[in-house]
Amino acid sequence: MKTLHYSALLLFLLTINLSLTNKIFAQTNNEQIKLGAILPLSGSLGLIGKEIQKGMKIANEELNNKKIEIIYEDNQDFNRKTSVSALNKLIHVDKVVTVFDAVVNTITALSPILNKNNIPGIVVWDSNKKIANLGEYIYAIGFSTELAGKDMAEHAVKKLNSKKVAVISAHDEWSEIIANSFIEKYKSLNSEIALHEEVDFNTTDFKTIATKIKLQNIDSVYIPLFPDSVVAFVRQLKAVNFNGNIMTGDAVSINEISELGSDSEGIYITQI
């Protein structure tokens, strides 16, 4: 699993932000500039949010820029309503000039407000075509969702010699984008999508799907799901003695690897 150096990433990000707010600096006569960050600081995705937060703090310290204050808001596992409430507070109470968000799931809800108020929104975890089309004030510097799916499909066919794959995705923007990219690339390599099912965002009961996979002699499973679902699915696949390849996306962290223990051996993860 790759370790991301968020301080370097956010140093670059804050540099971009400074260029975006040059006029604001001039207008405020060197007053403190407030930036907002809406992140998952609690829940199953809390590790991701806290690592991004840590990197932002390190970046600001390394820049030694006392003019910048970053105000953090917890959206509790990418909850859209919580994110919108946090954004309205940041804009109307805290008077921020730029807002950082983590993923496509929440920026889709925030983009109309950001565009209406002419406030840049910068997505730091995801990058994909959907984000690119959300308006002139929306930016992204994260992992390419589409490339992650395509890269894993190539890995499955060319490195794992996969011939028959099951794709289990969630009713969620990120999961649908990465799953569809995987499927498109996998098919283009003359390989078979034997099973594709979509589940609810927070599903943890995969017993029926795991049984189908076992009975159909599927050799590889692609599960671009969120942490709790990945842990549950892997355990239920192991329970039916599935011995094929297991692949997932970038939502899995060291927490899930530790929780799965030996069951995490051999799981492939993309972070591009």
* Tens digits of residue pLDDT in 165-197: 999 999 999 999 999 999 999 999 988 899 999
**Whole-number pLDDT of residue 224:** 96
- 40: confidence class by pLDDT, cuts 50, 70, 90: very high
In this predicted model, which residue has the larger pLDDT, 27 or 48? 48
Q: Which amino acid does the sequence have at 64?
A: N
Q: Which amino acid does the sequence have at 191?
A: S
* Tens digits of residue pLDDT in 190-227: 888 999 999 998 899 999 999 999 999 999 999 999 98
**Whole-number pLDDT of residue 255:** 83
- Non-local (6+) Cβ contacts of 135 within 8 A are 111, 112, 114, 115
CB-based contact 137:114 (threshold 8 Å): yes
Top CATH class of 6-141 equals: alpha beta
**Whole-number pLDDT of residue 254:** 83
Across the chain, which distance is largest between two alpha carbons, in Å?
A: 69
Structure tokens at 152: 């894993």
Q: What is the mean pLDDT of the chain?
A: 88
pTM over 0.75: yes
Residues of the chain with CATH 3.40.50.2300: 6-141, 145-269
What is the torsion angle, in degrees rounded to the nearest 10, for the CA atoms of residue 100, residue 104, residue 105 and residue 108?
80
**Whole-number pLDDT of residue 23:** 46
Cβ-based burial of 110 (10 A; exposed 0-12, middle 13-18, buried ≥19): buried
* Tens digits of residue pLDDT in 103-142: 999 999 999 999 999 999 999 999 999 999 999 999 998 8
The domain 145-269 having CATH identifier 3.40.50.2300: the answer here is: yes
| Rounded mean pLDDT, 58-78 | 85
